[in-house]
């Protein structure tokens, strides 16, 4: 198995691992382990999914930003034992800089917010769809990269920001046809955990690492979680009490346990989301912690409601992270909250539930313009440009036209509606020859348009 790139100082040629050549000197055709190619038939699904992300962000008034995939490793140097920082795709570059392929976008966003300083008017509502990386040993066979829709609101301390983000996620669900019977969002708050931990005399220094550990409850045995908490100095009794409170699914019951003041924000949040009309997607669940150490308040996680009992993988997740800037040396913090929404799980769910429109799989070109011979190619380029300028996706047949039949099979391959032939006699008469490759929607005009395969003359000006 590939050892993770621990100390990757530049190695002398002799020690470098030879690249795995294919048979007989051919390069390896597969992408690097854990990474994906997107040929056009795959890229159409990714582009369709991203178009929904962009549409929701635009509808909610978010502004798009980006930052380099490559960041200084120090952005991710956190000591809370998170999986995300232990799987960093990091290396030493040729100027001896410790760099990493970003494992998440939030630290880059915090860097941008800090770099903008006072010039940045709050609140800030920014979004991005970055590719994020991790170094997984290939034995686990998991992906090493994914695209993650990030939506963040900075400068808003109250839960109106979380409500806006939850509404945006539900807006996306509605946009792709996912109902509240098929997906949902579980919501809690780390302030609940903070209150409970304080009541159990768990120190504030242990808060973030303890959250990272109890987040594993759905993956590890309870005993293992208790054992990992004991390493932080948390007694078995306190751990079991913490774990039992995390089983609570009702805010009233939680209020009984830790007091109404500690659940006030959650009550306010559930009131606000009713205003957005998305309450049906949302439910309180004290077991939601999320695995990132910097969360400080409300946390949430979307999941698929699977028909069989199999555990559903998180669709997206996020929360409030009010104290991230001072961890990067800022003199004061700015309240922030956001979510990350990966491209892999959601596409699997949408495919499984047959929510992706058939046309997403199709490459669309409406017209193919074919010059009868090379002398007529300039005329063909003129006609295809006229069509394109009118907003019609159109191609001009690029190979030399040897047999007209070849152009028709190409037209079928690109699923074109029409083949428009530039032929000498017709061109001299100001006309082209048109052949419809498939039945057109009723009422688009003359009878010929609904007679597939018939060729007929059309004035160039009547083509549009
Ligand atoms: N953080 C992270 C990065 C890349 C993938 Br794939 N999953 C999680």
Distance CA 353, CA 347 (A): 10
Q: Considering only CA atoms, which residue is closest to atom 3 of ligand 1?
A: 133
Distance CA 219, CA 214 (A): 10
Q: Which pTM was predicted?
A: 0.91
* In contact, 105 and 132? CB cutoff 8 Å: yes
Q: Given a cut of 70, is residue 223 above it in pLDDT?
A: yes
Q: In the Cβ-directed half-sphere of 442, how many Cα atoms lie within 13 Å?
A: 0
**Does the CB atom of residue 132 touch ligand 1 within 6 A?**
yes
Ligand 1 pocket test, candidate residues 84, 101, 108, most atoms within 8 A of CB: 84
Residue 18 region by backbone torsions, left for phi larger than 0, else alpha for psi between -120 and 50, else beta? beta
Find the mean pLDDT for residues 142-155: 98
Ligand 1 pocket test, candidate residues 133, 290, 340, most atoms within 8 A of CB: 133
pLDDT classification of 1: cutoffs 50, 70, 90: very low
* In contact, 90 and 5? CB cutoff 8 Å: yes
* pLDDT tens digits, one per residue of 30-78: 999 999 999 999 999 999 999 999 999 999 999 999 999 999 999 999 9
- Measured between alpha carbons, how far is residue 338 from residues 73, 159, 305 in Å? 22, 12, 23
Say what percent of the chain tops pLDDT 90: 84
> ipTM of the predicted structure?
0.98
Q: Given a cut of 70, is residue 320 above it in pLDDT?
A: yes
Q: Considering only CA atoms, which residue is closest to atom 6 of ligand 1?
A: 145
- Give the closest residue to 168 by CA, choosing from 367, 424, 341: 341
Backbone torsions φ then ψ of 45, nearest 5 degrees: -70, -45
Burial class (CB in 10 A: 0-12, 13-18, 19+), 331: exposed
Q: Given a cut of 60, is residue 19 above it in pLDDT?
A: no
CB neighbour list of residue 79: distance below 8 Å, 6 or more residues apart: 209
Backbone torsions φ then ψ of 69, nearest 5 degrees: -60, -35
* Distance from residue 312's CA to the centre of ligand 1 (Å): 17
> What pLDDT is stored for residue 8 in this prediction?
45
- Give the closest residue to 171 by CA, choosing from 158, 45, 426, 163: 163
> For the ranges 201-210, 380-389, 412-421, 436-445, which has the lowest average pLDDT?
436-445
Query: Looking up tokens 């029409």, which residue turns up?
Result: 418
Find the mean pLDDT for residues 332-348: 98
Q: In the Cβ-directed half-sphere of 288, how many Cα atoms lie within 13 Å?
A: 26
**Does the CB atom of residue 323 touch ligand 1 within 6 A?**
no
* In contact, 137 and 355? CB cutoff 8 Å: no
> What pLDDT is stored for residue 448 in this prediction?
57
Please state the separation of Cα 304 from the chain's center in Å.
Answer: 16
> What pLDDT is stored for residue 7 in this prediction?
45
Average pLDDT, the chain: 92
Q: Given a cut of 70, is residue 217 above it in pLDDT?
A: yes
pLDDT classification of 24: cutoffs 50, 70, 90: confident
* In contact, 290 and 299? CB cutoff 8 Å: yes
* pLDDT tens digits, one per residue of 227-278: 999 999 999 999 999 999 999 999 999 999 999 999 999 999 999 999 999 9
């Amino acid at each position: 198995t590939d050892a993770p790139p621990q100390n990757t100082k530049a190695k002398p040629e002799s020690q470098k691992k030879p690249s795995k050549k294919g048979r007989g000197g051919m390069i390896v055709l597969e992408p690097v382990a854990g990474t994906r190619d997107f040929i056009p038939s795959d890229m159409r699904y990714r582009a369709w999914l991203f178009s929904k992300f962009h549409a929701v962000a635009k509808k909610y008034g978010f502004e798009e930003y980006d930052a380099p995939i490559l960041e200084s490793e120090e952005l991710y140097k956190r000591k809370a034992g998170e999986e995300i920082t232990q799987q960093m795709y990091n290396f030493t570059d040729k100027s001896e800089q410790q760099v990493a392929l970003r494992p998440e976008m939030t630290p880059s966003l915090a860097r941008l917010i800090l770099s903008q300083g006072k010039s940045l008017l709050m609140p800030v509502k920014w979004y991005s769809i970055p590719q994020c990386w991790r170094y997984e040993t290939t034995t686990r066979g998991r992906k090493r990269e994914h695209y993650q829709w990030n939506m963040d609101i900075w400068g808003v301390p109250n839960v109106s920001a979380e409500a806006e983000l939850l509404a945006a996620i539900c807006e996306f669900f509605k946009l792709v046809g996912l109902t509240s019977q098929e997906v949902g969002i579980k919501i809690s708050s780390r302030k609940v955990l903070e209150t409970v931990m304080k009541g159990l005399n768990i120190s504030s220094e242990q808060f973030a690492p303890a959250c990272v550990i109890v987040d594993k409850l759905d993956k590890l045995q309870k005993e293992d979680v208790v054992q990992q908490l004991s390493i932080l100095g948390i007694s078995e009794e306190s751990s079991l009490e913490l774990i039992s409170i995390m089983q609570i699914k009702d805010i009233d019951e939680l209020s009984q346990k830790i007091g109404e003041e500690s659940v006030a924000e959650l009550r306010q949040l559930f009131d606000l989301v009713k205003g957005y009309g998305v309450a049906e997607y949302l439910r309180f669940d004290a077991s939601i912690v999320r695995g990132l150490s910097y969360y400080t308040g409300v946390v949430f996680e979307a999941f698929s409601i699977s028909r069989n009992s199999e555990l559903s993988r998180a669709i997206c997740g996020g929360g409030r992270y009010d104290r991230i800037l001072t961890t990067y040396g800022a003199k004061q913090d700015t309240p922030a909250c956001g979510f990350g929404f990966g491209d892999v799980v959601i596409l699997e769910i949408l495919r499984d539930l047959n929510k992706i429109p058939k046309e997403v799989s199709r490459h669309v070109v409406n017209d193919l313009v074919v010059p009868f011979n090379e002398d007529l190619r300039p005329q063909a380029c003129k006609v295809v440009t006229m069509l394109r300028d009118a907003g019609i996706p159109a191609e001009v047949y690029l190979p030399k036209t040897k047999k007209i039949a070849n152009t028709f099979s190409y037209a079928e391959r690109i699923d074109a509606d029409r083949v428009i032939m530039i032929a000498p006699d017709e061109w001299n008469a100001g006309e082209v020859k048109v052949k419809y490759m498939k039945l057109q929607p009723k009422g688009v005009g003359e009878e010929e348009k609904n007679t597939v395969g018939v060729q007929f003359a059309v004035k160039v000006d009547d083509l549009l």
